[in-house]
Amino acid sequence: MRVLGVDPGTRNLGWGVVDVRGTVLTHVAHGIVRADESLSLAERLLVLDDGFRAVLAAQAPEEVAVESLFFGKDATAAAKLGHARGVILLAIGRAGLAVHEYAPAMVKRALGGSGRADKAQVALMVRAMLRLAELPRADAADALAIAIAHVQAAPLRKIAALHATALAARPPTPRVAVARPRRTQ
């Protein structure tokens, strides 16, 4: 299975690809789609869309994992990030792929650390897990971490899918009205 992890941003969009064969996790590629911050937001979104669609075409992932929206203290930054995520989610949808979203703290915990690890710690964990010679840049490291978290969550998704299938196959439980005695005062 080939997984593309995405760390959305309006200036730097990190991406990372891993392959999974059995229990072996292999680094394929990673990078950053950069949009010049002197461009307007609309122009940056076009750059991100073109660059991300090129990554999708070149890497041909089977599954895509995206960092979910994180609400910090800056509402304007969160709104701009939402625009970038929208571009990414649309491109993924157009490619016919499902979107899997993960909160930043969950990604950090999946890599064996705490949910409060900083970007440098995430990059170190990614380098160790994928046996990389060099430390990936922060946005690409985050994207690889998201892909790794998605791979590690796969067994839980399979169990949930089996459980949902079993529940759907079960005949509905008849509802029985029960008469309750009235209370006297």
- The catalytic residues are 7, 67, 139
Q: Contact at 8 Å (CB) between 53 and 92?
A: no
Q: Between β-strands 2-7 and 63-67, what pairing exists: parallel, antiparallel or unpaired? A: parallel
Token representation of residue 139? 């946005």
Distance between CA atoms of 13 and 136, rounded to whole angstroms? 14
Q: Are 12 and 140 in contact (CB under 8 A)?
A: no
CA-nearest of 83, 71, 92, 69 to 40 is 83
| Rounded-to-integer distance, Cα 24 and Cα 147, Å | 14
